[in-house]
Amino acid sequence: MTEQTLDALLESARRGIDDYLTTARDNGQIDAQSYQQAAANVFPALQEWLTDEATHRLSPQVQPALKSVIAEERWEDLVNAFRQPIRFGTGGIRGMMAFDRGSIEKLAESGISAPILKGPNTINDIVLLLKSVGVAQYGREQNPPLEKVVIGYDSRVRGHDFAKIVAELFLHAGYTVYFFDEPCPYPEMTFAIPYKDIKGDIGILISASHNDYRYNGYKLSCSNGSQFDPEQRDEMYEKYIAHATTKQIGLIPFEDAADDKLVFLGGEERVEGFNYLGREDRVLNIHQPHLKHVQSFLLTPDLAKQQRESDSPLRIAFCAFHGAGRRAIPRLLSEVGFNDVRIITEGGLNDLNGLFPSFESAAGKEQQPDPGDERAARTAIEAFKKQGTLGSFDDVDILIGTDPDADRCGVVVKVPADQRGLFGGQDWQLIPADSMWALLLWYRFHRETEQHGQVQDADKKFVVLSHTTSDSIALLAKKHGLGSIKTWVGFAALAAAVRDVWEQRELLDLKEGRHPTLGDLCHPFVCEYTDIEFGARSNNVAAMEQSNGFSILGSPPPDARSLGVGGHVRDKDGTLAALLVAEIAAWAKQQGTTIYELMDRHIHLDPDIGLFVSHYEPDPLDGEYPGIQGDRKKKDILGRALQQFARVGAGETVEFAGRKVTSAVMYRTGKYDAIYPPTAEFQFPDEGLRFYLGTEYNHVTVRPSGTGNSLRFHVQLHEPNPGPELADLIGHKQRLYTQIRRIADELRNMLEAPRS
C-alpha cells in the first residue's frame, strides 16, 4: 500500500471514528466523559499501531487486519479496541481477546498472530509484550535487581503461546525463566514462586480465571506469591509500564536460551506434545512438593488408610470445566486415599479447550465456566448422567468443580428429602461458597476442640473475609475467641490486611470502612476490624471470599519472600479447598451424616450464629455490558442506585420486598477515579452501595465488578433464632428464600434501564 493510500485510509478512519462518537454521544448511547476519553485516545492510538514498524515486525498481521476493519467501516469495534489502554490493576490485566466468536476461533486456529482486530484495549501479543517490558524493567531496576520469573498458563485459547512469548521477553531481559510444561492451576504457580528450589521474584499466569471464552489475562504475583502491593503496582505502572514502547521489545527464543536460564516445571512424567528442547531429564518436579504442602493442612493424618479400609468410602464426582484442575485435583485426591473419584468427561468437560464448548448457550450468551454458578453445576450434573460410565448420580456423595485456572472451588451436595421443596423438588444444591467456608471453619475448630478441649491459642488467631462474604463466618470466629477482618473484594485486599496484622502496623479506628485521614474515602483495603488487638493476633487460620476463594495464610513468614509459617499461598486455591471439603465430607460420612446436615445442625441452628441466607447474581447474567456503550449502561445503573442511596439519606422510604431500608453507606476508595473522575453528580462507588434492612446482618449491596464491565448484586438475610427444631429451621429457610428472591427481582426492576 502506498503512503498516499495509507494517508487516505487514516483520514477515512479519523472521519468515521469522529462521526461514530459524535452520533453516539448525541443519541445518548455514550456519556460525555466516555466521549472525551475516546475522542482523545482512539485515533492517535490507531495511527500509531498502523504505522509503527516494530509492531509490524513483532506481529505482521496486525496492520493488515486493522486496514481491513477500516475498509469495512467497523467504527464501533475500532473505538472499543482503541479507546483506552487495557486497565492494569494490582493483579495484572484482564480483558477480551476479541469481541466475537469468529475471531476467537480464528485465533485458536491460526495462533497469536492471527489477522484479527487487535488494539491496546484487547488482550493480544503486542499488549502482553508491552506490559511485560514494563514489568521486566521495573524488576531489573530494583535494588537488588529481580532475577527469576515463574510463568504459567491455563486452558485459555493459545495460552501456551502467549506465555511463551512473554517468557522469551524475560529471557531477553536477563531473567531466569521457570516455565510450566502444561496448563497449571494458578495456586500452583503462586506456590512455585517462593518454593525453596526456585526463590523467584515474579510470577505470571496467562489466565482470565472463570470468565467466558473471549477473555484472557495476565495475573501478576510478587516474590511471596501474593499480588503486588498497591504502592509497588503504582510505581511499576506509572514509571515503567505506562512508558513502554514496542521498540524496547526483544525476544530470545526458547531454542537459544542458555541451559541455566530456562527451567521447565512439571511432574515425574513428561507431557506428550510439549517440546522440552532436550531438557527432559532436568524438569523441576513442582507437582510433588505442592501436593505434599497442600496435604499438610488435613486434620485427619490417616485419611488414606481410613478410606482404603472403609466399607463405604467417599464417592466424589469431579468436573474440571475444561480447566487446569483436570489432572491436579484427581492427583491430589488420589494421593490422600480418595480412590472413588468419578471424572466427568462428557461434552469435553475434561478437555483443555479454551472455547469452553460445554458453555455455549442456546440463547447465544457467553456463559462462564464458573464453579460458583448454579448453571455450571447443572451442566456438570447433566454431563455426569449422560456419560453413562460413572454409575448413578444418586450414589455420589459430593461433586467438586474448579474453574479453568483452578483457583475457585464449587461444591454440590445432596439435599435431604424433607428439604427438597426449598429447591423446587431438586435433590441437589450448589452450596454458596461463604456457607461452605463457614462449615469448613467450624470443622477445623471442632476437630481441634475434640483433641485439645478448645481452640488452642485462640487469642492469637484471626480470620479474614471480604465484605460480601457471609457474616456467619465472623460470628463463628467470635464464638471461638478469634478476631476477624473484613476487607474489600479480592484476595489482594485479604492478603494485604493479613500482612498489616503480621507486621503489627497501627490498626485504624474505622467506621463503615472510612479512612480517618482520607475524608469521604474508605480505607484502601480494609472494611472493618473486629477483636483485632494491636500486636496480639498473628495467625491467620482462614482467608475467604464469596466468589469461591479460600486459603490459609498462617503466621508471619521468616522473610518477605516466603509463605507464612504454617500457611499456604496468599491467593485463593481451589485445589486446597477441594481437598479440605473432601475431608469434611469423608468425616461426615463416617459419622453417619452429610455436609448439608452438618451445616444445618452446627451453623444454622447455633443460637450464636443463626440462619444466614445469601444470594448473588451478576448483571448482566452473562458476559458484560459491551464496549464503550456498556460503560454508559453501567454508570446509568449505578446512577439509579445512587439516587436510591440519596433518597435514604434524605429520609425518604425505600423498600425491598416489604423490608424498609433503614440506612445506607457508600464504599468508595477512589481506586478508579482516573478512569471515572468524580463529579458533583457522580462518584464511582468502586466497592459498592450497601442498603441495610433493619439490622447489620440484613442488607443489599450493589457493587461494580473488579474484573469486567458489569455489576454484582448481593443480598444477605438473617434469622437469629431459627430453632430449636429442624422443622422450625426449614420454615425459616422457606420464608427467607422467598424473600431473598423477591428482593433480587425488585432490585433489578428498580435499577433496570428505561425501556426504549
Residue 361 has a pLDDT of 73
State the DSSP H helix or E strand holding residue 712, giving kind and residue range, or none if neither: strand 711-719
Return the bridge partners of 665, or none.
690
Residue listed under C-alpha cell 495460552: 159
Grid coordinates representing 320? 474440571
Q: What is the pLDDT of residues 708-732, one digit of tens each?
A: 789 999 999 999 999 899 999 999 9
Count CB-CB contacts under 10 A for residue 674: 8
More confident residue, 287 or 232: 287
Q: What is the pLDDT of residues 526-571, one digit of tens each?
A: 999 999 987 889 999 999 999 999 999 999 999 999 999 999 999 9
- Give me the amino acid identity at 364: G
How confident is the prediction for the chain on average, in pLDDT? 94
3-state helix vs strand vs coil in the chain, percent to 5: 40, 15, 40
Judged against a pLDDT cut of 50, whether residue 673 lies above it is answered with: yes
Q: For the chain, give me the number of helices (H) and strands (E)?
A: 21, 24
Q: Determine the average pLDDT of the residues in 191-196.
A: 98
Grid coordinates representing 347? 461434552
87-110+121-295 homologous superfamily: Alpha-D-Glucose-1,6-Bisphosphate, subunit A, domain 3 (3.40.120.10)
Residue 401 has a pLDDT of 98
Judged against a pLDDT cut of 80, whether residue 125 lies above it is answered with: yes
Evaluated on CA atoms 403, 408, 413, 418, the torsion sign reads negative
Which regions of 186-276 does DSSP assign to beta strands (E)?
A: 202-206, 215-221, 262-266
Judged against a pLDDT cut of 70, whether residue 756 lies above it is answered with: no
Binned at pLDDT 50, 70 and 90, residue 362 comes out as: low
Binned at pLDDT 50, 70 and 90, residue 355 comes out as: very high
Judged against a pLDDT cut of 70, whether residue 3 lies above it is answered with: no
Count CB-CB contacts under 10 A for residue 312: 9
- Give me the amino acid identity at 112: I
Above pLDDT 90, what percent of the chain? Answer: 87
C-alpha gyration radius of the chain: 26
Residue 90 has a pLDDT of 66
Choose the weakest-confidence range: 109-118, 258-267, 305-314, 736-745. Answer: 305-314
Residue listed under C-alpha cell 478476631: 483
Is residue 60 packed enough to be buried (19+ CB in 10 Å), middle (13-18) or exposed (0-12)?
exposed
Look at residues 151, 205, 192, 194 and name the one whose alpha carbon lies nearest to residue 288.
192
Residue 593 has a pLDDT of 97
Q: What is the pLDDT of residues 285-325, one digit of tens each?
A: 999 999 999 999 999 988 888 888 888 999 999 999 999 99
Distance CA 573, CA 552 (A): 9
User: What is the crossing angle of helices 433-452 and 471-479, to 10°?
Assistant: 10
Judged against a pLDDT cut of 50, whether residue 755 lies above it is answered with: no
Residue 324 has a pLDDT of 97
Contact 390, 342 (CB under 8 A): yes
Residue 675 has a pLDDT of 83
DSSP 755: P
Report the CATH number of the 435-588 domain.
Answer: 3.40.120.10
Binned at pLDDT 50, 70 and 90, residue 363 comes out as: low
State the DSSP H helix or E strand holding residue 528, giving kind and residue range, or none if neither: strand 526-530
Distance CA 675, CA 687 (A): 15
Residue 533 has a pLDDT of 81
Binned at pLDDT 50, 70 and 90, residue 754 comes out as: very low
Distance CA 48, CA 566 (A): 51
Judged against a pLDDT cut of 90, whether residue 379 lies above it is answered with: yes
Residue listed under C-alpha cell 476479541: 98
Is residue 275 packed enough to be buried (19+ CB in 10 Å), middle (13-18) or exposed (0-12)?
exposed
Distances (CA, A) of 662 to 12, 150, 332, 665, 693: 56, 50, 48, 11, 6
Residue 40 has a pLDDT of 96
Judged against a pLDDT cut of 70, whether residue 375 lies above it is answered with: yes
Contacts from 138-147 at CB under 8 Å and sequence distance 24+?
138/235, 138/236, 138/239, 138/240, 138/241, 139/173, 139/175, 139/201, 139/202, 140/173, 140/174, 141/240, 146/175, 146/201, 146/202, 146/223, 147/174, 147/175, 147/176, 147/201
State the DSSP H helix or E strand holding residue 54, giving kind and residue range, or none if neither: helix 53-58
- Give me the amino acid identity at 363: A
Distance CA 118, CA 110 (A): 15
Choose the weakest-confidence range: 331-345, 355-369, 467-481, 644-658. Answer: 355-369
Mapping DSSP to helix (H, G, I), strand (E, B) and coil, where does residue 652 land? coil
